[in-house]
Amino acid sequence: MCHSGFSAWFPCAVLVSPAPSCYGHLHAESGSLASTNYPGLYPNNVCCVWNISVPVGLITLDFVDFHLERSRKCMNDVLQFYDGASGYFLGQSCGKTPGATVSSYSNSIVIVFITDFTHRRSGWLLNWSSIDTCNQKAYCLCSKYATCTRTNHYPGYTCTCNEGYTGNGFECQVQRDVSATLILIISGSSLLYGSLHLLGSIAKSCSAHNESTSGYPNLSGVADSFSGMQTDQEFELSVVVNGTVNGKWLSYNNILFYEHTSTHLDAPSHFASFDGVYYAATIPVERLVGPLSVINLEEKSDKDRDYRVTADDITSYEKEFGKIPKGGIVIFDFGWSKYWNDFEGIYGAARNDTTFHFPGLGIDAAEVLADRGVYGVGIDTPSVDYGASQDYPAHYHLHGRNIYHLENVGSMSALPKGGKGVTLFVGAMKIDSGSGGPVRLIAMFDDEEGGISTGTATGYGIYLLTTAVVCVIIG
């Protein structure tokens, strides 16, 4: 849960570890704020949030000192800024370069400080102050095509687009039927599939709990730039329109990301080419729904990160839970969701290593699954083949039998043991000629008490499958 007084705006989750002086509401015309322990070393693995507000006007932030861990594209330790009223992303700073003065769009600003599990520095010290929004010589947020008018209510001014222009006053465009102005590009962000929310990079470090935004257990992972092993393509979201067009609200975006990132589908065409091979868009719908079998091998992978599932593991499961049904979906549970805020934990290697260490399927296990006639095979690691594999035998064998994969699956701890009685729905994107794509996995099963936690009368428990919790902040 969020700290007291925080809810529903910014994507920050529970602190990875507690830190003193790591959050709070600050209300004054001016003041100073520093990272925890400044000028000493700041703590690792924290997500700190401060909300600063001034009585009237806007807020500017000026840095006195700034020293964070060096970071490519701010992927490690980072200081981020959001407008308090609108939630707009204002920018971020990392390394030794704080960047230019940061200014809010309203009388409040949210500062988020995220650190990873390595390397600490002396941190940062900044001053904040309020500015007169209608003093054109000092600073004016209004568009040059708008008029700024003082008021006696929050936030102390209004911006009104001039005649012939349309917009919210902060941004004014020549009046027209359709606006296609590119407003901003968020690079290196995270994609949360469990609830289909697009979040900023903050999700990488601040979301690692096995709950969904609705409070149900989940089974879909969180995308991050390191989740795709075959490409350097990071997730990018470009806002095309996000505002008022002809007096009515309109919002839509362009997105760019690697097919095989976060909780995703590997279509058989990923590693196979033959007449009738399934692409992401051609997998029959009836193959995307089926009885689920969950084979838990966490004890074995805890002892051996390079563990490969054997045929005996499958037959042992069948002795306890019955034979895997034809047309079913099998998911292997190694408890890997516990690593979702830790690159080295997931891959068993540093970011610059070329050999990974995580469990996967042995070829004999892949052969047994194919012989059982399953439609899909899932795993909670980045690949159905173990991390050090160089020839991907499980991929080739299963895809060669037109069996799709589900990779980076989230926590299955809330499901009945063995997945007994569970029906899995695979919400796959219909991407023409695609070799894969993001999925939203939904498990449905009879509730032991004849109802579900939502209070509806369907008689089923319905669970989204994701590993992230999102909590938003109101100033």
Read off the CATH number of the domain in which 64 is found. Answer: 2.60.120.290
Q: Which of 191, 344, 176, 313 is nearest to 244 (CA)?
A: 176
Q: Which of 198-202, 309-313, 359-363, 382-386 has the lowest mean pLDDT?
A: 198-202
Q: What secondary structure, in 3-state letters, does 15-46 show?
A: CCCCCCCCEEEEECCEEEEECCCCCCCCCCCC
On whether residue 114 sits in a domain, the answer given is yes
With respect to residue 42, please indicate whether it lies within any of the assigned structural domains: yes
472 within some domain: no
Instruction: Report the range out of 68-77, 233-242, 327-336, 406-415 with the highest average pLDDT.
Output: 327-336
Q: Which two tokens stand for residue 183?
A: 């407003």
Same domain, residue pair 169 and 224: no
CA 241 to chain centre: 22
Query: Cα(57)–Cα(54) distance, rounded to whole angstroms?
Result: 7
Q: What crossing angle do the helices spanning 393-400 and 363-372 adopt, rounded to 10°?
A: 20
Is residue 33 located within the same domain as residue 171? no
Distance, in Å, from the CA atom of 175 to the CA atom of 157, rounded to the nearest integer, reads: 23
Task: Report pLDDT digits (tens) over 403-457.
Answer: 999 999 988 888 899 999 999 999 998 998 999 999 988 888 775 543 332 222 2
Q: Does the structure show a pLDDT above 60 at 463?
A: no
The residue among 464 and 436 whose pLDDT is bigger is 436
Regarding whether 278 and 311 lie in a shared domain, the answer is: yes
Least confident stretch, 8-22, 162-176, 235-249:
8-22
88 pLDDT exceeds 70? Answer: yes
- SS3 labels along the chain: CCCCCCCCCCCECCCCCCCCCCEEEEECCEEEEECCCCCCCCCCCCEEEEEEECCCCEEEEEEEEEECCCCHHHCCCEEEEEECCCCCEEEEEECCECCCCEECCCCEEEEEEECCCCCCCCEEEEEEEEECCCECCCECCCCCCEEEEECCCCCCEEEEECCCEEECCCCEEECCCCCCCCCEEEECCEEECCCCEEECCHHHHHCCCCCCCCCCCCCECEECCCCCCCCCCCCEEEEEEEEEECCEEEEEEEEECCCCCCCEEECHHHCCCCCCCCCCCCCCHHHHEEEEEEEECHHHHHHCCCCEECHHHHHHHHHHHCCCCCCCEEEEECCHHHHCCCHHHHHCCCCCCCCCCCCEECHHHHHHHHHHCCCEEEECCCCCCCCCCCCCHHHHHHHHCCCEEEECECCCCCCCHHHCCCEEEEEECCCCCCCEEEEEEEEEEECCCCCCCCCCCCCEEEEECCCCCCECCCC
Question: Are 424 and 306 part of one and the same domain?
Answer: yes
Handedness of CA 132, 134, 136, 139 (dihedral sign): positive
Give the pLDDT confidence score for residue 108 in this predicted structure: 87
Which is more confidently placed, 148 or 400?
Answer: 400
Decide if pLDDT at 1 tops 80.
no
331: burial class by Cβ within 10 Å (0-12, 13-18, 19+)? Answer: buried
Question: CB of 328 within 8 A of CB of 375?
Answer: yes
Q: How far is CA 471 from the centre of its chain?
A: 12
Structural domain contains residue 154 = yes
Are 170 and 52 in the same domain? no
Range of the domain at 193: 184-256
Mean pLDDT of 324-346: 90
CB crowding 195-227: b at 16 or more within 10 Å, else e:
beebbbbbbbbbbbbbbbbeebbbbbbbbbbeb
Q: What pLDDT is stored for residue 455 in this prediction? A: 24
Contact between 85 and 24 under an 8 Å Cβ cutoff? The reply is no
Separation of alpha carbons 77 and 48, rounded Å:
12
Measured CA to CA, the distance from residue 270 to residue 346 in angstroms comes to 22
Whether residue 97 is found in the same domain as residue 190? no
The rounded radius of gyration (Å) of the Cα atoms in the chain is 25
Same domain, 307 and 409: yes
The tokens describing 48, both together, are 């700190």
Q: Do 230 and 245 fall within a single domain?
A: yes
84: tokens are 């308090």
**97 lies in the same domain as 166:** no
Rounded Cα distance between 221 and 201, Å, is: 15
Report the largest interatomic distance among the alpha carbons of the chain, rounded to a whole angstrom.
Answer: 79
Q: What percent of the chain stands above pLDDT 70? A: 71
Q: Is residue 221 part of a domain?
A: yes
Higher pLDDT, 453 or 248: 248
Mean pLDDT, residues 95-119 taken together: 84
Q: How many domains does the chain have?
A: 4
| Domain final residue pick, 199, 230, 256 | 256
> Looking at the structure, do residues 414 and 269 belong to the same domain, yes or no?
yes
**pLDDT for the residue numbered 141:** 63
Whether residue 336 lies inside any domain: the answer is yes
- Looking at per-residue confidence, does 221 or 331 come out higher? 331
Model confidence, pTM: 0.53
Mean pLDDT of 136-155: 60
Instruction: Mark which of 207, 230, 256 sits at the end of a domain.
Output: 256
Taking alpha carbons only, the member of 98, 104, 126 closest to residue 38 is: 126
Domain CATH for 159: 2.10.25.10
Cα(200)–Cα(38) distance, rounded to whole angstroms? 26
**Residues 153 and 220 occupy one common structural domain:** no
Please say if the pLDDT value at position 326 is more than 90. yes
As a whole number, mean pLDDT of residues 261-269 equals 91
Per-residue pLDDT tens digits for 177-223: 433 332 333 333 333 332 222 222 222 223 322 333 333 333 444 33
Cβ neighbours for 441, distance < 8 A, ≥ 6 positions apart:
219, 220, 263, 406, 409, 410, 424, 425, 426, 427, 464, 465
